[in-house]
Amino acid sequence: MGLGDKMFRGMAWSIIDRVSIQVVQFVLGVILARILAPEEYGIIAILVVFIVLSGVFIDSGFTKALIQKKDRTEDDNSTVFIFNIGISIVCYLILWVAAPFIADFYEIQELSLLLRVMALSLIIGAIKALPTTLFVIDLNFRTLTKINLITVVISGGIAIYMAYIGWGVWALVWQTMLKAVIGLILTWIIVKWKPNWVFSKASFKKLFSYGYKLMVSQLLGSFFSNLNSLLIGKYIGAKDLGFYSRGIQFSDVVYSIFSSALNNVLLPGLSPVQDDKKVLVSMTRTIIKTSALITLPVFLGLAVLAEPIILVILTDKWAFAIPIMQIFCIARFITTVVVVNINLLYVIGRTDLVLRQQYLCIAVRVVLVIIALQYGIIYIALAELASTSIHFFINSYYPGKFMKYGGFSQIKDLLKIILAGLAMAAICYLLMLFINNDLLELIIVPIVGILLYWGTVYLMKIPEYNIAIDKARGFMKGKS
């Protein structure tokens, strides 16, 4: 099996993993959103920020360092395993002490106990992290799909029952905890690896030299990506934060599917050709165009259908989330292209450049969000769209400098795909003006949109159309 076919197969299973999980989580989330109030989702959004930031510390870039390293050893694996567990305990103790102060800052006293319980998932996740990384290195996403799907179904089902009987925000906290515990048990039942309990200073030093810049970059990225939640929760309120978090839910479901697939496959898939610039650029160009061919119509379709989706699925109590959803659909498409550019620098071992770009991206985001904060959550979403657009050019600068494949070259490659997507979106929007029924719009418009888009792509003779079709057929036949 060639490298390209193996990457496509890995990406396909990764997408199946994310789609199956996201579909289940989406259904569970809809049920929970109908039971719980926006304020309760706002509270959980605040907690998630601290969990995500701690998770970056625990990983410290070691996961990607292991994947990128060609000559990894068992001492490397064991060193990362021990380090992750140790740091997770330290992070938990810090959050335990900080919890009352965080609750006082947001003037929500129940945050303290909620955070102390939910943060236990960090230690559980750290024990599971290394075996999961080994599955990723082997591009064994089929196993991960099975584990994740079982985990999500069980934890989500219990959370719905808890919400129904009146547990409120605690239902969401226990959903997180159960997901971590069940995932841990299933992973260790299946994985064949066992630690040799060796902590090698030499391994740590070598892995950390690659990973620490990545850790700083991811930490800064995670903090400032979640800055909106922290600021909205404090200065606007938990209710508006609930609307904001639900507004980005739909675009984030799609983004999570594709970005996770790209992140999982690009580094292990492209690392073997990291020294052959011509092949690396050629494969990157194909990945960007093929992924955009698939993701663009999905994001544009969601933006067009945002109003009926939210009114029908979540009910009109979430109507304030509609413009947030539309704005973030556009922003998340741009970010999927950014993901490829960042991974390209990971592949060639230049995490220092990723960090350098991150500083500039952060400055742009902070300035725009602070300006928008006084005008409300819609303007904060617009600030995110503007900063994401600028981030694209920042993150494509070094690929352009070193490989002659920068932002404008990528836009040129994507131009026909973008035109096909915009044509589809415009016609679908006009069609909705005549239907004027939310349920009928959700039935008719997607069908018309799919036919319009793929028909336009076929007529425009976009090469990646045939590539995607051929790869999909091969995968379905089990030959990829």
Q: What percent of the chain has pLDDT over 90?
A: 27
The pLDDT of residue 382: 95
Q: Of 184-198, 216-230, 261-275, which gets the smallest average pLDDT?
A: 261-275
Token representation of residue 84: 């992750």
From 211, 235, 259, give the residue that closes a domain: 235
From 235, 259, 289, give the residue that closes a domain: 235
Q: Are residues 75 and 184 in the same domain?
A: yes
- Cβ neighbours for 157, distance < 8 A, ≥ 6 positions apart: 28
Least Cα distance to 309 among 257, 261, 254 occurs for 254
The pLDDT of residue 105: 87
pLDDT at 235 over 50: yes
The pLDDT confidence band at residue 261, using thresholds 50, 70 and 90, is low
From 176, 203, 235, give the residue that closes a domain: 235
Q: What percent of the chain has pLDDT over 70?
A: 87
Q: Are residues 371 and 468 in the same domain?
A: yes
Provide the domain limits for residue 213: 36-235
Instruction: Report how far residue 145's alpha carbon sits from residue 2's, in angstroms, rounded to the nearest whole number.
Output: 23
Q: Are residues 352 and 473 in the same domain?
A: yes
Q: Are residues 332 and 401 in the same domain?
A: yes
The pLDDT of residue 14: 61
Q: Are residues 338 and 432 in the same domain?
A: yes
The pLDDT confidence band at residue 71, using thresholds 50, 70 and 90, is confident
Q: Are residues 167 and 281 in the same domain?
A: no
Decide if 14 is inside a domain: no
The pLDDT confidence band at residue 99, using thresholds 50, 70 and 90, is very high
Average pLDDT of every residue of the chain: 83
Decide if 241 is inside a domain: no
Instruction: Report how far residue 252's alpha carbon sits from residue 261's, in angstroms, rounded to the nearest whole number.
Output: 14
Residue 127: half-sphere exposure toward Cβ, Cα within 13 Å:
15
Token representation of residue 132: 């999961």
The pLDDT confidence band at residue 162, using thresholds 50, 70 and 90, is very high
Structural contact between residues 425 and 294, judged by C-beta atoms closer than 8 angstroms: no
Q: Of 62-66, 250-254, 402-406, 430-434, which gets the smallest average pLDDT?
A: 62-66
Decide if 17 is inside a domain: no
Rounded to an integer, the average pLDDT of 323-333 is 93
Query: Each residue of 428-449: pLDDT tens digit?
Result: 999 999 888 889 999 999 999 9
Q: Are residues 320 and 398 in the same domain?
A: yes
Instruction: Report how far residue 225's alpha carbon sits from residue 332's, in angstroms, rounded to the nearest whole number.
Output: 12
pLDDT at 427 over 80: yes
What 3-state DSSP class applies to 453?
Answer: helix
Q: Are residues 158 and 220 in the same domain?
A: yes
**DSSP state letter for 36:** S
Report the b/e string of 405-433 with b at 16+ CB within 10 A: bbbebbeebbebbeebbeebbebbeebbe
Q: At what angle do helices 377-395 and 322-347 cross, to 10 degrees?
A: 20
Q: Are residues 262 and 179 in the same domain?
A: no
pLDDT at 3 over 60: no
The pLDDT confidence band at residue 268, using thresholds 50, 70 and 90, is low
The pLDDT of residue 229: 81
The pLDDT confidence band at residue 480, using thresholds 50, 70 and 90, is very low
Decide if 9 is inside a domain: no
User: Number of structural domains, the chain?
Assistant: 2
The pLDDT of residue 11: 58
Decide if 2 is inside a domain: no
Element (H, E) at 76: helix 74-106
Residue in the block written with tokens 């902070």: 366
